[in-house]
Structure 1
Amino acid sequence: MKRTIAHLDLDTFFVSCERNLNSKLIGIPVIIGGGDRGVVASCSYESRYFGVRSAMPIKMALRLCPDAKVIKGDMDLYSKMSQEVTEIIKEKAPLMEKASIDEFYLDLSGMDHFFGCYKWTNEISESVIKNTGLPISFAVSSNKTVSKIGTGEAKPIGRLEIQDQNVQQFLNPLSIKKIPMVGNVTFQLLSRLGIRTIKTLSEMPKDVLQQLIGKNGNELWKKANGIDENPVIPYSERKSISSDHTFSNDTIDIEAIKNLISGMVEQLSFQLRNEKWLTSTVTVKIRYANFDTETKQCKISYTAADHTLLKYAFGLFHKLYTRRMRIRLIGIKFSGLVHGNHQMDLFEDTEELINLYQTMDKIKTRFGKNAVGKASGYLIN
């Protein structure tokens, strides 16, 4: 059976949510972010015209576009609006994957026999706009990669269908940066070799590409040639992630316990970022030597940042530990999860802190979760 995959992406999602609340923001440059040393979490097309982009330092963005309206951002609002869109699509789609807080994949294979896939996707997009007021773009093709690239080319509020026979013709003139897995490092490497368009990349021998960039070379070659067998993964929101540690000997050593909490929070935070989650609820659990178990939790703004989560975890522990009795077990749980990534959440964090997290995460991904950590942290096996 011929595959048909649609990719839907909410246009400048954070900005659009804010404009729903305040119509005065429509048509003017808007930047979502926070703090003089913070970064741009999202920006409107009007500000992009001046060269503003996501992850750019706020100070630099305001030098490029001094008239931009800067808004700190509200992850609770964005999560609520994302869930509304999710419910609209989920109710109608035969198979939906929620790839992030603002983008979705739909497997519409076989629907052409009953209803045109492009027409159906267009109608569901119109339903999203009508019911939420949020602009959305989409593209339909035979796989996830081509559809995602197509949506990017269709924006804003664009509609695109890429037939099988036109896939390579569509991809060839585009920059290799349009391929989802091509980051800045890969782009710079290939660009220095004169490989700047997807056409040039698609014509490279696979073995040469593998020698250049390693094990991902074959996958990159396939994407450049419009090949992607990755399935649409059925939608399900993960509720929580957690970690418990039982001491071999009951302890009252507060510094050792705090070091353990630090290590647990660090590893759970890495898991959040690695799996593209943000959490809104922190829970701390302790079990005393007599097996009495107590928990405390608090609601927070969505985040995946170690330093923020650790502050709340320590605060909860100090409120919870009141008996001065030996502790048998300590547990940390992050719940109220939404799809997103750490960069989305950095309304107050600095560019230096972002770079630190990104560097540490790369090291952990390559060498293992215990490869690097805070000096005070306790390694969890």
Structure 2
Amino acid sequence: MERSIVHIDMNTFFVSCERLTNSALNGIPLIIGGGERGVVASCSYEARRFGVRSAMPIHMAMKLCPQAKIMKGDMELYSKLSHDITEIIQEKAPVVEKASIDEFYLDITGMDKFHGSYKWTNELAQTVTKETGLPLTFALSINKTVSKIGTGEGKQKQNLEIPEHLVQSFLNPLSIQKIPMVGEKTFQLLSRIGIRKIETLSKMPCEVLQQMIGKNGSELWKKANGIDNNPVEPYTERKSISTEHTFSQDTIDMDRLKRVILGMVEKLAFQLRSEEWLTSTVTIKIRYANFDTETKQCRVQYTSADHILTKTVTDLFEKLYQRRMRLRLIGVRFSGLVRGTYQIDLFEDTQEMLALYQAMDRMKNRYGFDAVMRCAGASFKPNNKNEILKRKSE
């Protein structure tokens, strides 16, 4: 049976959320992002006409479009509206994967027996827009790759349906940059040997691609040929991530305690970014030598950045640890999680900070977490099986 996979993308989601609460923002160039040294988190189509793009430095965006209005952004509002959209889709679709805060995959295979699949999807899209006031684009095809590419094209040509017999003719004239896994580095590498269109890439021997770009070569060749067997993964909301450290001997050494805290925060923050989560609630837990246990928590603006979370956890620890008795355990927990494609807080951090985090995360992913660490937290190591199991199972 031919699969029916839908990709839904909320159009300029952050911008649309802001306009929903303030109609005066309609029709004007709008940029959501940080301060003068920050980067663009999202921008309106009016700003895009001047060349403004996501992740562009704010100062560069303002040179391209000096009349644009800049807003800091409200992740709490975006998260709430994303949750509302998710509930509407999950109520109607049989299998839903929430790929990020503003995009979804749906597997509606077999539904064409009872409704036309495109008609059903169109009615769902109209329901989402009617109930939330937010615009969206969707594409329906045989797998996740083609439907996602279709959504990108649909923003210019409206919603698309791409049946199996039209997949290759749809893909062929497009730039290889339209394939989700093709970044700037891969594009430049392939461009140098004249491969710029998907049609050219699809006809290239798979073995040659593997020699050029490694193990991803085979996957890239499949996507260029419209092949993607990855399933739509049912969405479940993760509640929190946490870790605890039990000392082999009870301690009151403040320097050691803070080093352990920094190490735990760094590991958890890296996990947030790796799994594309943002946290809004931070909790610190301590257990004294007499087994008395105390906790303290606070809310933060949605983030996954070490420097923000480290300061928050350290401040909480200093407020909580007042009895000056020896401690046997420290725990850190991040909760109130939301999905997001942004690996750090684009509303607060500078372009330099963004580049630093991305470089560190690449090294950690390639060589292991311990490949690059802050000196202050480098002494933290899981010291018992219970801690390791806890972190794996949450």
Could you tell me the TM-score, scaled by structure 2's length?
Answer: 0.95
Residue identity matched to 1:96 = V
1:301-340 CA distance string (max 9 Å, x none): 1001000011110011001101101110111110000000
Corresponding position: 1:346 with 2:346: yes
Q: Counterpart of 1:370?
A: 370
Instruction: Check 1:375–1:368 CA distance in 2 against 1; reply closer, same or farther (3 A cut).
Output: same
Where does residue 42 of structure 1 map in the other structure?
42
What displacement does 1:343 show?
Answer: 4.7
Instruction: Give per-residue Cα distances to partners, 1:112-139, cap 9 Å, x unaligned.
Output: 1111111011000000111111000000
1:43-72 deviation digits (Å, cap 9, x = unpaired) = 001101101000111000000000001000
Q: Supply the distance in 2 between the matched residues of 1:380 and 1:117 (Cα, whole angstroms).
A: 52
2:202 counterpart residue number: 202
Query: Residues 41 and 343 of structure 1 are in contact (CA less than 8 Å); yes or no, is this contact kept in structure 2?
Result: no
> Does residue 380 of structure 1 match 2:381?
yes
Who is 2:186 aligned against?
186
Q: Equivalent residue of 1:250, what SS?
A: strand
C-alpha displacement of 1:193: 1.7
Letter in 1 for 2:127: S
Q: Which amino acid aligns with 2:284?
A: V
| Per-residue deviation, residues 179-203 of structure 1 (Å, max 9, x unmatched) | 1111111111111221111111111
Find the aligned partners of 1:167 and 1:236 in 2 and give their Cα distance.
31
2:293 is matched with 293
Q: How far apart in 2 are the matches of 1:235 and 1:109?
A: 17
The answer to whether 1:142 aligns with 2:166 is no
Match of 1:93 in 2: 93
Alignment identity in percent? 69
1:380 & 1:96 partners in 2: Cα distance?
A: 38
Cα distance between partner residues in 1 of 2:134 and 2:198: 32
Deviates more, 1:11-20 or 1:257-266: 257-266
User: Is the CA contact 1:14–1:73 (under 8 Å) kept in the aligned structure 2?
Assistant: yes
Q: State whether structure 2 residue 109 is matched by structure 1 residue 133.
A: no
Q: Are 1:41 and 1:344, in contact at CA under 8 Å, matched by a contact in 2? A: no
1:240 aligns to what? 240
Structure 1's 156 and 195: CA in aligned 2 closer, same or farther, altered over 3 A?
A: closer
CA distance in 2, matches of 1:195, 1:29: 35
Contact 1:136 1:158 in 2 (8 A): no
Distance 2:185 2:304 in 1: 24
- Structure 1 residue 228 displacement after superposition: 0.3
C-alpha displacement at 1:346, in angstroms?
A: 1.3
The match for 2:73 is 73
3-state DSSP class of the match of 2:370? coil
Q: Which residue of 1 aligns with 2:283?
A: 283
The one-letter amino acid paired with 1:207 is: E
The 5 A counterparts of 1:217-236 are 217-236=217-236
Residue 172 of structure 1: how far off its partner (Å)? 0.6
- Structure 2 residue matching 1:9: 3-state secondary structure: strand
Kept in 1, the 8 Å contact 2:305–2:344? The answer is: no
Measured in 1, the distance between the counterparts of 2:149 and 2:341 equals 20
Residue 10 of structure 1 corresponds to: 10
CA distance in 2, matches of 1:345, 1:49: 25
Is structure 2 residue 322 aligned with structure 1 residue 322?
yes
Give the equivalent residue in structure 1 for 2:29.
Answer: 29
How many Å apart are 1:341 and its aligned residue? 3.2
Matches within 5 A, 1:106-117: 106-117=106-117
CA contact (8 A) 1:137 1:157 kept: no
Q: List alignment gaps of at least 5 residues for structure 2.
A: 383-394
Q: Once the two structures are superposed, what CA deviation does each residue of 1:220-241 show, in whole Å capped at 9, x if it has no partner?
A: 1101100000000111010000
Q: Is the 8 A contact 1:278 1:341 kept in 2?
A: no
Residue type of the alignment partner of 1:380 = K
Q: Deviations over 1:60-100 (max 9, x none)?
A: 00000000010000000000010110011011011101010
| Other structure's SS at 1:300 match | strand
Is the Cα contact below 8 Å between 2:139 and 2:151 reproduced in 1? Answer: yes
Amino acid at match of 1:132: T
- The Cα shift of 1:344 comes to 6.7
> Matches of 2:350 and 2:285 in 1, distance apart?
31
Structure 1: how far apart are the matches of 2:79 and 2:381? 31
For 1:209-263, what per-residue CA distance to the aligned partner results, in whole angstroms no more than 9, with x for missing partners? 0111111111111011000000001110100001111111111111111111111
**Closer, same or farther in 2 for the Cα pair 1:75/1:304, shift >3 Å?**
same
Structure 1 residues 380 and 200, CA gap change in structure 2 (3 angstroms): farther
Q: Is the 8 A contact 2:106 2:232 kept in 1?
A: yes
> 60-69 or 155-164: which moved more?
155-164
Aligned residues: 381
Q: C-alpha separation between the residues in 2 aligned to 1:157 and 1:86?
A: 25
C-alpha distance in 2 between matches for 1:164 and 1:108: 15
Question: What is the distance in 1 between the residues matched to 2:290 and 2:203?
Answer: 68
The two structures, once aligned, show a CA RMSD in angstroms of 1.1
Query: Which residue pairs with 2:170 in the alignment?
Result: 170
Unaligned 5+ segments in structure 1 are none
Query: Normalising to structure 1: TM-score of the pair?
Result: 0.98
Residues 1:222 and 1:46: Cα distance change in structure 2 (over 3 Å) = same
Q: What pairs with 1:231-270 in structure 2 (closer than 5 Å)? A: 231-270=231-270
Q: What is the CA-CA distance between 1:157 and the residue it aligns to?
A: 8.7
Matching residue of 1:355: 355
